[in-house]
């Protein structure tokens, strides 16, 4: 059975963007890139909201081909080009690019089906609206939260109200030189 894994940068007060929708406050370093590589190697499906997907699609397919490509650019570009991608969207039209499946309705039903299949993890980078939808249905198995040392005071919250309590178990924590703390939580299913 597959696991759904959310990999998100957040502010200390729980926002994924500031009030202007910006993410320039996020601290990223080589240690985090190395951890991201470990997590991507454990996944064979990437789940992106439409906005995140469009950002990824604009950069990653050719990132390794750029003259100033970093080690991370080369490795992540290779993974991105080979991984199956799922993009929930009612607005994307036309044929989907290679390895990409557009889901226009019943995302939670599709994720439930995928979770029952054999395979590696389904990983989400960003895409807070997808996190909102899947959290409300308790379909996320692991939360990897990169808590940045900043209070934004407003913006797009990682979590929206939903109708149940979801209990989590802290699996690990790690502090990076940048001051970012990575908290890895697993959902508890047997309480």
Residue 85: CATH number of its domain: 3.40.430.10
Please give the model's pTM, rounded to 2 decimal places. Answer: 0.90
Closest by alpha carbon to 88, among 98, 100, 79? 100
Residues facing residue 124 across a β-bridge: 6
| Contact assessment for residue 93 and residue 114, using Cβ atoms and an 8 Å cutoff | no
Q: Look at strands 43-47 and 121-125 and give their pairing.
A: parallel
Is 14 exposed, middle or buried (CB count within 10 Å of its CB: 0-12, 13-18, 19+)? middle
Of the candidates 81, 65, 58, 63, which has an alpha carbon nearest to the alpha carbon of residue 73?
63
At 100 the pLDDT is: 92
CA–CA distance, 15 with 111 (Å, rounded to integer):
25
Question: What are the structure tokens assigned to 99, written together?
Answer: 């390895």
Distance CA(111)–CA(90), nearest Å, equals 17
pLDDT given for residue 191 in this prediction: 41
User: Rounded distance, CA 16 to CA 6, Å?
Assistant: 13
Task: Please count the structural domains in the chain.
Answer: 1
pLDDT value for 190: 46
What's the pLDDT score for residue 188? 86
Q: Which domain holds residue 140?
A: 4-187
Burial class (CB in 10 A: 0-12, 13-18, 19+), 58: exposed
Q: What pLDDT shows up at residue 47? A: 95
State residue 133's pLDDT score.
92
CA 131 to chain centre: 8
List the pLDDT tens digit at each of the 191 positions of the chain: 899 999 999 999 999 999 998 999 999 988 998 998 999 999 999 999 888 898 899 999 999 999 999 988 999 999 999 999 999 988 877 777 889 999 988 999 999 999 999 999 999 987 888 999 999 999 999 999 999 999 999 999 998 888 888 999 999 999 999 999 999 999 987 44
Give the per-residue pLDDT at 108. 93
């Amino acid at each position: 059975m597959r696991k759904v894994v959310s990999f998100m940068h957040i502010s200390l007060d729980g926002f994924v963007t500031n009030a202007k929708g910006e993410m320039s406050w996020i601290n990223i370093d080589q240690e985090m890139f190395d951890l991201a590589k470990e997590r991507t190697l454990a996944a064979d499906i990437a789940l992106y909201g439409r906005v995140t997907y469009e950002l990824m699609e604009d950069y990653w397919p050719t990132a390794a081909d750029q003259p100033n490509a970093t080690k991370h650019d080369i490795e992540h570009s290779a993974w991105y080009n080979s991984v199956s991608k799922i993009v929930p969207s009612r607005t994307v039209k036309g044929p989907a690019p290679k390895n990409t499946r557009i889901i226009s309705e019943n995302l939670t039903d599709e994720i439930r089906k995928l979770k029952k299949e054999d395979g590696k993890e389904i990983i989400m980078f960003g895409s807070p609206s997808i996190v909102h939808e899947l959290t409300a249905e308790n379909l996320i198995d692991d939360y990897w939260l990169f808590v940045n040392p900043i209070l934004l005071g407003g913006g797009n919250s990682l979590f929206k109200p939903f109708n149940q309590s979801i209990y989590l178990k802290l699996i690990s924590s790690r502090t990076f030189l940048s001051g970012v703390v990575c908290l890895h939580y697993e959902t508890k299913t047997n309480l």
